[in-house]
Copies of this chain bind each other. A is one copy, B any other.
Amino acid sequence: MLANIKVIAFDADDTLWVNEPYYRETEYKFAELLSEYISEKECIDKLFKVEMQNLKLYGYGAKGFVLSMIETAFQISDYKISGKSIEQIINFGKELNNKIIDILPGVKDLLSKLKNTDYKIITATKGDLLDQERKLKKSGLAPFFHHIEVMSNKKEDDYLKLLKRCDVKPENFLMIGNSLMSDILPVLKIGSNAVFVPFHTTWIHEEADENEFVKYDNYYKIKNPAEILNIINLSKK
């Protein structure tokens, strides 16, 4: 049981709601658009490469994803892809931003139990600021959170900045998320606490070896959100 937790941060995409499958689905639609030039697998591999090259410049989110798809389409088609197809790629991005928000099982119940406690509950997410604020609003979960922290990245430094903004010490901070690379490892490394809730689809860029984590005392792995109530104490208020 964890004592002295003051701030609990939830990752958003694929922790609170479904996200990654929509990106995977878009990749298949993108590959379909280029199927006269290249196989599906090669197309998706090339896109991933361009995304990684642009990551520092564009960061995470739908707009950067669209710009990388357009760039990849020119590479693959040698600039022969039609204007209408480019427009379709732009529309893929708009569709991503208009998706229904599918809240994951157990999330709402857990959040409502956390609401009347002394914990400050926030959401800490990578991605595009506007996209993430929009998703939180559309999800109807906004009232459960003190505020949303959109981070340009989730490395140790980024978490230290977050702790500074929230005025909380590492040992009083708990992060909950589905990405070992982004939500768990950097958080453990700065001496905070982390709960891993796996999701069925993980972007290759976020994959990690779980064995690296078990050595940390303040690492927890659960199957569904409700199990967090076995880790923290709810009787504060």
A49-93 at interface with B (beta carbon < 8 Å): 57-59, 63-64, 66-67, 70-71, 74, 77, 79-84, 86-87, 90, 93
The reply on A236 being an interface residue by CB < 8 A is no
By a CB distance below 8 angstroms, the chain B residues around A93 are: 67
The reply on A138 being an interface residue by CB < 8 A is no
The total of chain A residues at the interface (CB under 8 A) is 36
A168-210 at interface with B (beta carbon < 8 Å): none
Pair A86/B74 contact, Cβ less than 8 Å: yes
The reply on A224 being an interface residue by CB < 8 A is no
9 pairs across A/B with beta carbons < 8 Å?
A: A59-B128, A59-B129, A63-B64, A63-B67, A67-B93, A70-B70, A71-B87, A147-B165, A167-B167
Give how many copies assemble into the complex.
Answer: 2
By a CB distance below 8 angstroms, the chain B residues around A24 are: none
Pair A152/B133 contact, Cβ less than 8 Å: yes
Contact of A164 among B74, B97, B147 (CB under 8 A): B147
State the majority secondary structure of interface residues on A.
helix
Pair B90/A130 contact, Cβ less than 8 Å: no
The reply on A115 being an interface residue by CB < 8 A is no
By a CB distance below 8 angstroms, the chain B residues around A67 are: 63, 66-67, 90, 93
The reply on A150 being an interface residue by CB < 8 A is yes
The reply on A94 being an interface residue by CB < 8 A is yes
* A38–B81 alpha-carbon span in the complex (Å): 24
The reply on A113 being an interface residue by CB < 8 A is no
By a CB distance below 8 angstroms, the chain B residues around A57 are: 94, 97
By a CB distance below 8 angstroms, the chain B residues around A151 are: 129
Q: Convert A92-132 into 0s and 1s, putting 1 for each residue whose CB lies closer than 8 angstroms to a CB of B.
A: 01100100000000000000000000000000000011100
By a CB distance below 8 angstroms, the chain B residues around A59 are: 128-130
* A80–B129 alpha-carbon span in the complex (Å): 33
Nearest B residue to A66, CB-CB: B67
Pair B64/A90 contact, Cβ less than 8 Å: no
Nearest B residue to A80, CB-CB: B83
Contact of A152 among B66, B130, B167 (CB under 8 A): B130
Pair B129/A152 contact, Cβ less than 8 Å: yes
* A128–B127 alpha-carbon span in the complex (Å): 10
